[in-house]
Chains A and B, each alone.
Chain A
Amino acid sequence: MVVFHVHRIAQRLNHSTLSSVLLHDSGHVSLLKMGSSRSINTAAKFRTWGLLPSNCSNVTSPCTSRTSYGPLSRYQIFLGLRHNEYCTTPGNGEKQTISVTFVDKDGEEKQIKVPVGMSLLEAAHENDIELEGACEGSLACSTCHVIVMDVDYYNKLEDPTDEENDMLDLAFGLTETSRLGCQVIAKPELDGIRVALPAATRNFAVDGFKPKPH
């Protein structure tokens, strides 16, 4: 079983200069940088680690936009797009909503409107986004793990509590900007946030065996 362990960096990262993610997989360490140096290679590395969508497929749903063809545009997914155009202001008596984009395991994007005060887990379920929520938001499972794709947005969130960190410890594919979807509550500052569902390519194979074809 592959488990990723991640260093938490004590100080909040400064997005404009450098943000980094450290992943350890049984001894291998890779330091991934992004920000000032927009290299295609970096995007490719993220993909290898399962942080970036590795594939996209045809999508017909109107609220889903097909994204990413070349490595560079995949990289842009990670950086997060500017969001002003989606911003919704509170109308008279109307419930204020924000725009949230989910990027699923295959790289498909879905942008939805989320009422302020609602958790990303609830929002995902209301919009048929395949985010698991085994314990239905009671901080007991870690299956609602999402990766905030832009560190600026990550920094706008309240710090995770000890209890959330305890569950994040066990989340698959943990990254520096991981959160539990049931604990992220929509608020106006988060308008335009993009979150990725962690890719699930893991290998549970018993080591050393190569089966012969029939």
Chain B
Amino acid sequence: MALSRALSFYRSFSTVPSQSLRVCIVGSGPAGFYTADKILKAHEGAEVDIVDRLPTPFGLVRSGVAPDHPETKVVTNQFSRVAQNGHCSFIGNVSLGSSISLAELRELYDAVVLSYGAESDQALGIPGEELAGIYAAREFVWWYNGHPDCRNLAPDLKSSDTAVIIGQGNVALDVARILLRPTAELATTDISCHALAALGESSIRKVYLVGRRGPAQAAFTAKELREVLRIKDLSIEIRQEDLSKTPADEEELKNNRIKRRIHELLSKAATPATSICSPGQKELHFVFFRKPDRFLESDCRNGYIAGLRMERTILKEDVGSGKKIAVGTGLFAEMECGLVLKSVGYKSIPVDGLPFDHHKGVVPNVQGRVLSEAYGDAQVEKGLYVCGWLKRGPTGIIATNLYCAEETVASISEDVLRGAVTSRSGLSKPGREGLLQLLDSRNVKVVTFGGWEKIDNEEKRRGSLKNKPREKLTTWQDLLEVATK
């Protein structure tokens, strides 16, 4: 309540005079841009710099959101307007932890907001996870979206007709859709050309989406599910028996609009009429109540995946949380496959000098203010804030980061008003000028928003030759060359 009162207070005066407030935001995804937008609106005269390790802005809107979702990427228009605000700068090709340390940034700016997302993956922790042919969904997504770090992933799509996706969230549905959609339909999207070529030659015909819990607990949302169910010439396989509801499921569905609508969609898709499969037709199998137990190595190709052993599960209520968790039944089954995509969640990576809760995989914080410790006697770290997936964990849609940024910026505004952000001596911090000097002395070639616009124009130009909205530049060298031309 105090927070909302403070917020309204700021709104009523529209902006807080803060001539010398210098803020650095690390990470230019939705969390970073929404934070910048809110700070600029609340603090007249504030200077906001958004640094990113890539030469390109927009985080997962560019490298995560699926190529066949152009409507979702429209939000970059709004973010570009923020970047073009005279008090805001995008500074790309600057990596926290290697180009510059957190301690240095905190010296240079009054406030530092970390919104650098989650660029690693949850592990399954089962035998065989290191076999070739097993990828994190994140890497596969980066590959088809042309992220320069996965340019050379080259997933093998030709040795087998079967792929297994572990996890049943929206990312799992995204990667399933990309594997199964006719490539002619992908050809007019901004999918990277290396991925389009590989998918065109793919022999993957059967995709299994494996969830450890049931249809009432699936993590995906209706829009994504509807879309995959509508793919042309795709046979959908869902076992009727998996759809039968326990009284506990009934209760859960009654109280949860999203899950109820998902269950309805799955039930409709499971009617026998849709499951008559013609030869050669692609298939998507929803597999519920199975948890991965171990990956099986190929006999003829050393070090390569050949299959997956799964254990049948049942749901038990966790006494502490009340959550329904999957427990093994001791019944196992094996399935052959040549490609596995683990889509069981992203994970944030800590940087030096940053308090980190390794258990939850987030930076410990209260309403966006970073705490010195994850547990016990925590103090607030002066001038250090967090937003987005690094703050909340790797869940939520783009809009979630808007509300998340509102909360973090309200904390900053409160602290500014209390005098807890700007230095007492009255001396202003070096801010952008100091940062650029330091980077220059280290020979780091920064990419400005103007540099990104050159990339943007070049990508659109190359795309127009192929009837694509853009053809992404996918190597560091190309990106940097075009940006600094």
Contact = CB atoms under 8 A, between A and B. Distances in A.
Interface string A125-162: 00000001011101111110000000000000000001
A7 B379 contact: no
Contact of B380 (A105, A172, A214): A214
Contacts, number: 134
A141 B367 contact: no
B399 interface: yes
Contacts of B77: 136
A214 B11 contact: no
Contact of B74 (A1, A54, A136): A136
Given A54-B4, A205-B366, A214-B420, A165 B75 contact: no
B317 interface: no
Given A209-B378, A212-B378, A163 B4 contact: no
B226 interface: yes
B66 to A, nearest CB: 11
Interface string B94-108: 000000000000000
A24 B402 CA distance: 22
Interface residues of B, number: 56
A81 to B, nearest CB: 23
A55 interface: yes
A204 B367 contact: yes
Given A1-B395, A140-B72, A169-B261, A204 B404 contact: yes
A203 interface: yes
B257 A140 contact: no
Contacts of B371: 206, 209, 211
A184 interface: no
Interface string A1-36: 100011110000000000000001001010000000
Contact of A141 (B380, B399, B404, B420): B399
* Interface SS majority for chain B: helix
A138 B74 CA distance: 9
B316 interface: no
B131 interface: no
Interface of B: 1, 3-5, 7-9, 11-12, 69, 71-72, 74-75, 77-78, 221-223, 226, 254-258, 261, 322, 357, 360, 362, 364-369, 371, 377-380, 382, 391-392, 395-400, 402-404, 406-407, 420
Closest 6 pairs between A and B when the two form their complex, measured CB to CB: A57-B12, A140-B71, A138-B71, A166-B223, A134-B75, A55-B8
